[in-house]
Amino acid sequence: SNQTFGKSILDLTELSKKEIISLIDLAIRLKKAPQDYANVLNGKILGMIFEKSSTRTRVSFEAGMLQLGGQAIVMNGKETQIGRGEPIKDTAPILSSYLDALMIRTFEDKKVQDLVKYGSIPVINGLTDDHHPCQVLADLMTIYEHKGTFEQVKLAYVGDGNNMAHSLLIGGAIVGMDVSIACPKGYEMKAEYVTCAKKIAQKSGATLEITQEPKKAVEQADFVYTDVWSSMGWEEEQAKRESVFAQKYQVNAQLVAHSKAEYKFLHCLPAHRGEEVTAEIIDGSHSVIYQEAENRLHAQKALLVKILVKN
Protein backbone atom coordinates (compact mmCIF):
# COMPACT_ATOMS: atom_id res chain seq x y z
CA SER A 1 0.00 0.00 0.00
CA ASN A 2 1.03 3.61 -0.55
CA GLN A 3 2.15 5.08 2.77
CA THR A 4 2.69 8.54 1.30
CA PHE A 5 -1.01 9.05 0.53
CA GLY A 6 -2.41 12.16 2.25
CA LYS A 7 0.93 13.24 3.71
CA SER A 8 2.21 16.78 4.10
CA ILE A 9 5.88 17.33 3.27
CA LEU A 10 7.34 19.98 5.55
CA ASP A 11 10.77 18.40 5.35
CA LEU A 12 12.16 15.03 4.28
CA THR A 13 11.76 13.44 7.73
CA GLU A 14 8.14 12.92 6.66
CA LEU A 15 9.37 10.20 4.28
CA SER A 16 11.06 6.86 4.98
CA LYS A 17 13.83 5.39 2.86
CA LYS A 18 11.27 2.97 1.42
CA GLU A 19 8.94 5.80 0.46
CA ILE A 20 11.74 7.80 -1.16
CA ILE A 21 12.95 4.80 -3.19
CA SER A 22 9.37 4.04 -4.25
CA LEU A 23 8.93 7.70 -5.23
CA ILE A 24 12.15 7.66 -7.28
CA ASP A 25 11.02 4.44 -9.01
CA LEU A 26 7.76 6.11 -9.95
CA ALA A 27 9.58 9.28 -11.06
CA ILE A 28 11.79 7.21 -13.39
CA ARG A 29 8.68 5.52 -14.87
CA LEU A 30 7.00 8.91 -15.27
CA LYS A 31 10.08 10.24 -17.04
CA LYS A 32 10.14 7.29 -19.45
CA ALA A 33 6.41 7.07 -20.22
CA PRO A 34 4.59 10.26 -19.15
CA GLN A 35 1.62 9.42 -21.37
CA ASP A 36 0.84 6.40 -19.17
CA TYR A 37 -0.03 8.81 -16.35
CA ALA A 38 -1.92 11.47 -18.33
CA ASN A 39 -5.16 11.14 -16.35
CA VAL A 40 -4.19 10.01 -12.87
CA LEU A 41 -4.88 13.41 -11.29
CA ASN A 42 -8.08 14.12 -13.21
CA GLY A 43 -10.15 16.70 -11.33
CA LYS A 44 -7.45 17.42 -8.75
CA ILE A 45 -6.36 21.00 -8.05
CA LEU A 46 -3.05 22.08 -6.53
CA GLY A 47 -2.82 25.58 -5.06
CA MET A 48 0.62 27.21 -5.01
CA ILE A 49 1.58 30.23 -2.93
CA PHE A 50 4.83 32.05 -3.67
CA GLU A 51 6.28 34.55 -1.20
CA LYS A 52 9.70 34.28 -2.87
CA SER A 53 10.78 34.19 -6.55
CA SER A 54 10.81 30.93 -8.49
CA THR A 55 11.36 29.55 -11.99
CA ARG A 56 11.85 25.79 -11.61
CA THR A 57 9.52 25.10 -8.70
CA ARG A 58 6.66 27.14 -10.11
CA VAL A 59 6.83 25.83 -13.67
CA SER A 60 7.63 22.19 -12.83
CA PHE A 61 4.76 21.91 -10.33
CA GLU A 62 2.27 23.59 -12.65
CA ALA A 63 3.39 21.67 -15.76
CA GLY A 64 3.43 18.50 -13.67
CA MET A 65 -0.18 18.94 -12.54
CA LEU A 66 -1.31 19.66 -16.12
CA GLN A 67 0.58 16.63 -17.49
CA LEU A 68 -1.16 14.43 -14.90
CA GLY A 69 -4.59 15.67 -15.90
CA GLY A 70 -5.03 18.01 -12.94
CA GLN A 71 -4.87 21.76 -12.61
CA ALA A 72 -2.86 24.30 -10.63
CA ILE A 73 -3.64 27.74 -9.26
CA VAL A 74 -0.58 29.90 -8.75
CA MET A 75 -0.78 32.73 -6.22
CA ASN A 76 1.71 35.48 -5.56
CA GLY A 77 1.61 35.76 -1.78
CA LYS A 78 1.65 39.57 -1.95
CA GLU A 79 -1.52 39.58 -4.06
CA THR A 80 -3.41 37.36 -1.61
CA GLN A 81 -4.87 38.48 1.69
CA ILE A 82 -2.02 36.59 3.45
CA GLY A 83 0.14 39.44 2.14
CA ARG A 84 -2.12 41.89 3.98
CA GLY A 85 -1.96 39.97 7.22
CA GLU A 86 -4.98 37.62 7.10
CA PRO A 87 -4.13 34.90 9.61
CA ILE A 88 -3.16 31.40 8.45
CA LYS A 89 -5.73 30.16 10.95
CA ASP A 90 -8.44 31.49 8.58
CA THR A 91 -6.64 31.02 5.26
CA ALA A 92 -5.81 27.34 5.80
CA PRO A 93 -9.33 25.92 6.32
CA ILE A 94 -10.73 28.08 3.52
CA LEU A 95 -8.12 27.02 0.94
CA SER A 96 -8.61 23.43 2.15
CA SER A 97 -12.28 23.65 1.12
CA TYR A 98 -11.34 24.63 -2.47
CA LEU A 99 -8.20 22.62 -3.19
CA ASP A 100 -6.84 19.06 -3.02
CA ALA A 101 -3.29 20.05 -2.03
CA LEU A 102 -1.29 23.17 -1.38
CA MET A 103 2.34 24.03 -2.09
CA ILE A 104 3.96 27.04 -0.43
CA ARG A 105 7.31 28.80 -0.84
CA THR A 106 7.89 31.13 2.06
CA PHE A 107 10.30 32.34 4.74
CA GLU A 108 9.57 30.81 8.18
CA ASP A 109 8.83 27.10 8.46
CA LYS A 110 6.20 28.04 11.06
CA LYS A 111 3.90 29.19 8.24
CA VAL A 112 3.98 25.76 6.58
CA GLN A 113 3.40 24.08 9.95
CA ASP A 114 0.41 26.35 10.58
CA LEU A 115 -1.09 25.56 7.16
CA VAL A 116 -0.95 21.89 8.15
CA LYS A 117 -2.25 22.59 11.65
CA TYR A 118 -5.26 24.69 10.62
CA GLY A 119 -5.93 23.14 7.19
CA SER A 120 -7.12 19.69 6.19
CA ILE A 121 -5.30 19.05 2.90
CA PRO A 122 -1.69 17.93 2.26
CA VAL A 123 0.81 20.80 2.25
CA ILE A 124 4.11 20.64 0.35
CA ASN A 125 7.09 22.79 1.30
CA GLY A 126 8.30 24.42 -1.93
CA LEU A 127 11.25 26.04 -0.08
CA THR A 128 11.50 27.73 3.27
CA ASP A 129 14.40 29.37 5.06
CA ASP A 130 15.33 25.98 6.58
CA HIS A 131 14.29 23.33 4.04
CA HIS A 132 13.99 22.51 0.33
CA PRO A 133 12.69 18.92 0.30
CA CYS A 134 11.40 18.90 -3.31
CA GLN A 135 14.80 19.93 -4.62
CA VAL A 136 16.47 17.11 -2.72
CA LEU A 137 13.98 14.53 -4.03
CA ALA A 138 15.10 15.55 -7.55
CA ASP A 139 18.74 15.47 -6.42
CA LEU A 140 18.37 11.97 -4.98
CA MET A 141 16.66 10.85 -8.20
CA THR A 142 19.59 12.27 -10.21
CA ILE A 143 22.14 10.51 -7.99
CA TYR A 144 20.15 7.28 -8.31
CA GLU A 145 20.09 7.61 -12.11
CA HIS A 146 23.88 7.78 -12.11
CA LYS A 147 24.66 5.20 -9.44
CA GLY A 148 21.61 2.92 -9.12
CA THR A 149 22.13 2.91 -5.33
CA PHE A 150 22.92 5.20 -2.39
CA GLU A 151 25.28 2.72 -0.78
CA GLN A 152 28.97 3.60 -0.96
CA VAL A 153 28.01 6.92 -2.55
CA LYS A 154 29.49 10.13 -1.14
CA LEU A 155 27.93 13.55 -1.60
CA ALA A 156 29.87 16.67 -0.63
CA TYR A 157 28.24 20.05 -0.10
CA VAL A 158 30.40 23.17 0.11
CA GLY A 159 28.99 26.54 1.13
CA ASP A 160 26.29 28.16 3.22
CA GLY A 161 24.64 26.11 5.98
CA ASN A 162 21.25 26.95 4.48
CA ASN A 163 18.01 25.19 3.46
CA MET A 164 19.87 23.13 0.84
CA ALA A 165 22.51 21.97 3.32
CA HIS A 166 19.81 20.94 5.83
CA SER A 167 17.72 19.04 3.29
CA LEU A 168 20.71 17.31 1.68
CA LEU A 169 21.99 16.19 5.08
CA ILE A 170 18.59 14.88 6.17
CA GLY A 171 17.83 13.31 2.76
CA GLY A 172 21.22 11.63 2.61
CA ALA A 173 20.82 10.32 6.15
CA ILE A 174 17.43 8.79 5.32
CA VAL A 175 18.57 6.94 2.19
CA GLY A 176 21.89 5.84 3.71
CA MET A 177 24.22 7.95 1.58
CA ASP A 178 27.47 9.40 2.93
CA VAL A 179 27.24 13.19 3.18
CA SER A 180 30.04 15.59 4.05
CA ILE A 181 29.26 19.27 4.49
CA ALA A 182 31.75 22.14 4.68
CA CYS A 183 30.44 25.51 5.84
CA PRO A 184 32.46 28.51 7.01
CA LYS A 185 32.50 29.50 10.67
CA GLY A 186 29.45 31.62 11.40
CA TYR A 187 27.47 30.08 8.51
CA GLU A 188 26.96 26.58 9.88
CA MET A 189 23.76 24.54 9.68
CA LYS A 190 21.28 24.78 12.54
CA ALA A 191 22.20 22.32 15.29
CA GLU A 192 18.67 20.87 15.54
CA TYR A 193 18.81 19.55 11.95
CA VAL A 194 22.31 18.15 12.36
CA THR A 195 21.17 16.31 15.50
CA CYS A 196 18.08 15.06 13.69
CA ALA A 197 20.11 13.83 10.69
CA LYS A 198 22.66 12.09 12.92
CA LYS A 199 19.91 10.23 14.69
CA ILE A 200 18.47 9.04 11.36
CA ALA A 201 21.97 8.09 10.13
CA GLN A 202 22.50 5.76 13.09
CA LYS A 203 19.69 3.63 11.72
CA SER A 204 20.40 3.93 7.99
CA GLY A 205 24.16 3.51 8.21
CA ALA A 206 24.93 6.80 6.47
CA THR A 207 28.19 8.47 7.43
CA LEU A 208 27.69 12.17 8.07
CA GLU A 209 30.61 14.57 8.35
CA ILE A 210 30.42 18.25 9.27
CA THR A 211 33.58 20.27 8.72
CA GLN A 212 34.88 23.75 7.95
CA GLU A 213 37.38 22.34 5.44
CA PRO A 214 36.06 22.10 1.83
CA LYS A 215 39.00 19.90 0.76
CA LYS A 216 38.05 17.38 3.41
CA ALA A 217 34.40 17.42 2.36
CA VAL A 218 35.07 16.81 -1.34
CA GLU A 219 37.75 14.15 -0.71
CA GLN A 220 36.83 11.13 -2.88
CA ALA A 221 33.29 12.49 -3.36
CA ASP A 222 31.05 11.07 -6.09
CA PHE A 223 28.92 14.23 -6.15
CA VAL A 224 29.95 17.81 -5.39
CA TYR A 225 27.12 20.21 -4.58
CA THR A 226 27.04 23.91 -3.89
CA ASP A 227 24.48 26.72 -3.59
CA VAL A 228 24.45 30.50 -3.56
CA TRP A 229 26.29 32.33 -0.79
CA SER A 230 23.28 34.59 -0.12
CA SER A 231 19.91 32.89 -0.23
CA MET A 232 16.65 34.70 -0.88
CA GLY A 233 16.03 36.99 2.08
CA TRP A 234 19.77 37.48 2.78
CA GLU A 235 20.66 39.67 -0.19
CA GLU A 236 21.76 42.61 1.97
CA GLU A 237 24.56 40.43 3.43
CA GLN A 238 26.00 39.66 -0.02
CA ALA A 239 29.22 41.71 0.31
CA LYS A 240 30.03 40.45 3.80
CA ARG A 241 29.29 36.86 2.85
CA GLU A 242 31.36 37.09 -0.35
CA SER A 243 34.43 38.12 1.63
CA VAL A 244 34.05 35.09 3.92
CA PHE A 245 33.05 32.45 1.37
CA ALA A 246 35.52 33.51 -1.36
CA GLN A 247 38.42 32.54 0.90
CA LYS A 248 38.01 28.81 0.16
CA TYR A 249 34.38 27.83 -0.38
CA GLN A 250 34.26 28.21 -4.16
CA VAL A 251 33.86 25.00 -6.15
CA ASN A 252 36.65 25.26 -8.71
CA ALA A 253 39.12 23.00 -10.56
CA GLN A 254 41.56 23.05 -7.66
CA LEU A 255 38.91 21.90 -5.18
CA VAL A 256 37.32 19.14 -7.29
CA ALA A 257 40.79 17.71 -7.94
CA HIS A 258 40.27 16.03 -4.54
CA SER A 259 37.02 14.34 -5.62
CA LYS A 260 36.69 11.08 -7.53
CA ALA A 261 37.94 11.40 -11.10
CA GLU A 262 34.41 10.70 -12.42
CA TYR A 263 32.63 13.01 -9.90
CA LYS A 264 29.43 14.83 -10.93
CA PHE A 265 28.64 18.45 -10.12
CA LEU A 266 25.19 19.39 -8.76
CA HIS A 267 23.58 22.79 -8.02
CA CYS A 268 19.95 23.51 -7.20
CA LEU A 269 20.14 26.72 -9.31
CA PRO A 270 19.97 29.62 -9.86
CA ALA A 271 23.79 29.85 -9.84
CA HIS A 272 26.27 32.69 -9.74
CA ARG A 273 29.21 31.79 -11.96
CA GLY A 274 32.44 33.13 -10.52
CA GLU A 275 31.09 33.10 -6.96
CA GLU A 276 30.13 29.73 -5.44
CA VAL A 277 31.26 27.88 -8.59
CA THR A 278 33.47 28.69 -11.55
CA ALA A 279 32.03 28.67 -15.07
CA GLU A 280 34.61 26.03 -15.93
CA ILE A 281 33.04 23.60 -13.46
CA ILE A 282 29.32 24.35 -13.79
CA ASP A 283 29.51 24.44 -17.59
CA GLY A 284 32.04 21.60 -17.78
CA SER A 285 31.70 17.90 -18.59
CA HIS A 286 31.09 16.80 -14.98
CA SER A 287 28.09 19.09 -14.50
CA VAL A 288 24.65 17.45 -14.53
CA ILE A 289 22.67 20.58 -13.58
CA TYR A 290 20.14 20.37 -16.41
CA GLN A 291 19.37 16.72 -15.77
CA GLU A 292 18.97 17.66 -12.09
CA ALA A 293 16.64 20.58 -12.90
CA GLU A 294 14.59 18.42 -15.31
CA ASN A 295 14.17 15.85 -12.56
CA ARG A 296 12.30 18.45 -10.48
CA LEU A 297 9.38 17.80 -12.84
CA HIS A 298 9.48 14.00 -12.64
CA ALA A 299 10.15 13.77 -8.90
CA GLN A 300 7.36 16.24 -8.05
CA LYS A 301 4.92 14.48 -10.38
CA ALA A 302 5.72 11.28 -8.49
CA LEU A 303 5.25 13.09 -5.18
CA LEU A 304 1.87 14.50 -6.27
CA VAL A 305 0.68 11.07 -7.43
CA LYS A 306 1.82 9.47 -4.17
CA ILE A 307 0.16 12.14 -2.03
CA LEU A 308 -3.10 12.39 -4.00
CA VAL A 309 -3.77 8.82 -5.20
CA LYS A 310 -4.43 6.14 -2.61
CA ASN A 311 -3.05 3.22 -4.63
Closer residue to ligand NVA, CB minimum distance, 45 or 269? 269
Among 4, 8, 13, 54, binds ligand CP (CB under 6 A): 54
Among 4, 8, 13, 57, binds ligand CP (CB under 6 A): 57
231 among the known binding-site residues?
A: yes
Among 12, 268, 282, 293, binds ligand NVA (CB under 6 A): 268
Q: Which stretch binds ligand CP (CB under 6 A): 14-22, 51-59, 71-79, 89-97?
A: 51-59
DSSP state of 15: S
231 is a contact residue toward ligand CP (CB under 6 A)? no
Confirm whether 286 is a catalytic residue. no
DSSP string, the chain: --TTTT--BSSGGGS-HHHHHHHHHHHHHHHH-GGGGTTTTTT-EEEEEESS--SHHHHHHHHHHHHTT-EEEEEEGGGSGGGGT--HHHHHHHHHHH-SEEEEE-S-HHHHHHHHHH-SS-EEES--SS--HHHHHHHHHHHHHHHS-STT-EEEEES--SHHHHHHHHHHHHHT-EEEEE--TT-PPPHHHHHHHHHHHHHH---EEEES-HHHHHTT-SEEEE--SS-TT-GGGHHHHHHHHTTT--B-HHHHTTS-TT-EEEE-S---BTTTB-HHHHTSTTB-HHHHHHHHHHHHHHHHHHHH---
232 among the known binding-site residues?
A: yes
Which residue out of 67, 135, 250, 300 is catalytically annotated?
135
Binding track, positions 115-134, relative to ligand NVA; x by CB under 6 A: ------------x-------
Among 27, 127, 200, 297, binds ligand CP (CB under 6 A): 127
Closer residue to ligand NVA, CB minimum distance, 121 or 138? 138
196 among the known binding-site residues?
A: no
Which residue out of 250, 268, 298, 300 is catalytically annotated?
268
Give the span between the Cα atoms of 278 and 125, in whole angstroms: 30
Are 177 and 143 within 8 A, CB to CB?
yes
Among 232, 238, 242, 252, binds ligand NVA (CB under 6 A): 232
Confirm whether 105 is a catalytic residue. yes
Q: Which stretch binds ligand CP (CB under 6 A): 8-16, 52-60, 154-162, 191-199?
A: 52-60
Among 4, 106, 125, 162, binds ligand NVA (CB under 6 A): 162
Window 240 to 269, contacts with ligand CP (CB under 6 A): 268-269
Residues at the binding site for carbamoyl phosphate are 54-57, 81, 105, 132-135, 268-269, 296
Binding site for ligand CP (CB under 6 A): 54-57, 127, 135, 268-269
